[in-house]
Amino acid sequence: MATMPDAGRDFDVAVIGGGLMGSAIAWGLARSGQRVAALDEGDIAYRASRGNFALIWVHSKGLGLAPYSAWTMRSANAWTEFAGMLESQTGIDVAFDRPGGFNLALSEREFEARRDLLQRIQDQRNMQRFEFEMIDRERVKQAIPQIGPEVVGASYSRFDGHCNALRLFRALNTGMQQLGTTYLSDHRVERIDYAAGAFRMTTRQGEVHAGKVVLAAGIDNVRLAPMVGLNIPVRPQRGQLIVTEKTAPFLHYPVQTVRQTDEGGVMIGDSQEEAGADATVGLDVTAVLASRAIRIFPQLAGLNIVRSWACLRVMTKDGFPIYDQSTTCPGAFNASCHSGVTLAAAHALFLAPQIAAGQLSADDFAPFSSRRFDVQALAA
């Protein structure tokens, strides 16, 4: 990996975290002309990124925070340009496709609950409304003939899509280094010191100095935030995933909990458990995932599963992202969110340039400050 003599370890900005979040931000910062150090942990890191489902998903997000819906839509709309930029720079096709996404209901009750949820999202104050459809079984079957007899209908929105997240990760990592970013693996940050307008990151492999720092370390942001005067209350949430052997293309739309990758494997996922820091696979949960997937697509029962795995994803108290900048340590920023693939375009193209300029705009980011969790501050 790229290493440099200590005397050379001076950067405009250090991004702590080398997953999808940190990589999207680091790539965006490098595009903005910054000299960037990307500090990653080793292979044993929890890495929420490995639990991604590769959806660019819009239509059921944002109940309780309308600006989150708008931020998600803005990112999804920027994804075409984002994927094109990555491909023209690195030659890596991240297989972005936006055919629209379905969420299939297995009972009338699920169908009505879905309609109610989506309508409540649209009916919020300050909502930038967009169209979605509740469609019946026959119309679902026209688009996806393989649905099972229990499927009664679906919600559908043309704004949803998916990508190949492994190639997205590779494109960002390759792209940031082509733009001069120094990628430092196995550089867990033990402490951050702020003095005289600069940050000193201490790692077991030496120190890194930078004028700005971005915390993009997933659940480790909890530990790092107080070092720069921030408070980032996030917790791990376990997710489990299954992938089948590659099979001929049959599913041309992402179906929220089931999707067929561009290379043919079928991913099944979207479990959510409160399991603390336990990232082990539980057969009980994967069995539920598999049986529900088979009710949706009975023919999946004949496919072999080639892997199942678990991950710890990042969850905030209200499920919405936290973006903040420190008032006591100017130049320190954080980004914590659950949807690192959907929001990758926004992080690279909208967030990173503002960090490069040293200031988050209140218009874009005030709704996402962790101050929303601070009752005393809100009452003051």
Pair 258, 251: CB distance under 8 Å = yes
Please tell me whether residue 44 binds other proteins under the rule CB under 8 A. no
DSSP tag of 225: G
Shortest distance, CB of residue 250 to other proteins, whole angstroms? Answer: 6
Distance CA 372, CA 379 (A): 11
- State in angstroms the smallest separation of the CB of 149 from other proteins: 16
CA distance 134 to 131: 10
- Mark out the alpha helices in 91-164 (DSSP H runs): 108-122, 137-143
Altogether, the residues listed in the chain come to a count of 380
Instruction: Please list, in sequence order, all residues whose beta carbon lies within 8 angstroms of the beta carbon of residue 270, skipping any fewer than 6 positions away.
Output: 53, 239, 256, 257, 289
Is 300 a binding residue for other proteins by CB under 8 A? The answer is: yes
Is residue 302 a contact residue for other proteins (CB under 8 A)? yes
Interface residue with other proteins, options 136, 263, 278, 318 (CB under 8 A)? 263
The minimum distance between CB 244 and other proteins, in angstroms, equals 10
Q: Does 318 bind other proteins (CB under 8 A)?
A: no
Provide the minimum distance between the beta carbon of 42 and other proteins in the complex, in angstroms, as a whole number: 28
Of 304 and 376, nearer to other proteins (C-beta) is 304
Cβ atoms of residues 314 and 219 within 8 Å = yes
Q: Which parts of 51-70 interact with other proteins (CB under 8 A)?
A: none
DSSP code for 304: P
Residue 145 contacts other proteins per CB under 8 A: no
203 is a site residue for other proteins (CB under 8 A):
no
Q: Is 295 in the site for other proteins (CB under 8 A)?
A: no
Position 91 contacts other proteins (CB under 8 A): no
The least CB distance from residue 260 to other proteins, in Å, is 10
- Rounded Cα distance between 239 and 261, Å, is 19
Q: Rounded CA gap, 214 and 237, in Å?
A: 22
Q: Which of 64, 84, 264, 276 is close enough to bind other proteins by CB under 8 A?
A: 264
Footprint on this chain of other proteins (rule: CB under 8 A): 146, 245-250, 263-264, 299-300, 302-304
